Amino acid sequence: MKKIVVFASGSGSNAENIINYFNDKGNVLVTKVYCNKKGAGIFNRCKRLNKECVLFSKNELFSSDDFINQLKKEADYIVLAGFLLKIPSKLIESFPDKIINIHPALLPKYGGKGMYGMNVHNAVKENKETETGITIHFVNENYDEGAIIFQATTKLEDTDSPEDIAQKIHTLEYEHFPKVIASVIIQ
């Protein structure tokens, strides 16, 4: 059985989708969720889903061999689902090509530090893009520059607001992210 740990920073809708997707799959288990923001919505979602969610600090992520050793016991793969901190090199080295992230744009466009959530959707709108999408990729030492695993697109209308764009992106995320994770993990 392959084990996944999910990292989240926000409301946790993608994390919940991943947990639910793998609940009935006997060959993959989401063992735990980690969150770096006290009071984030993911804690309530995990409580409702009966899934352990652990608060951890930036210091633990960047400075603790104990934290990495704990992750090695709990996970074969780490999935970033709305997780906003840059992953340190030491963790990437411990999980080579086993940390998967989703980005709400078609990389390499609209990637990099500070490009997340509504920042991305606002930039897409401001630049009058006719399409956008999601990129699922492996994590490397640079923001949003890891090897691309999968991309999906959606058409945009001139009348689409950034909120409309966000909704279209969420639809793509919910449809594709768990399936793509499964395709990487179950080979």
Whole-number Å distance between alpha carbons of 127 and 105: 13
Query: How far, CA to CA in Å, does 15 sit from each of 10, 157, 174?
Result: 10, 29, 10
Whole-number Å distance between alpha carbons of 151 and 175: 12
Q: Do 181 and 4 meet the contact criterion of CB atoms below 8 Å apart?
A: yes
Residue 176 annotated as catalytic: no
Among residues 103, 121, 137, 176, the one annotated as catalytic is 103
| Cis status of the peptide bond prior to 108, with omega within 30 of 0 | yes
Whole-number Å distance between alpha carbons of 157 and 93: 42
Active site residues: 103
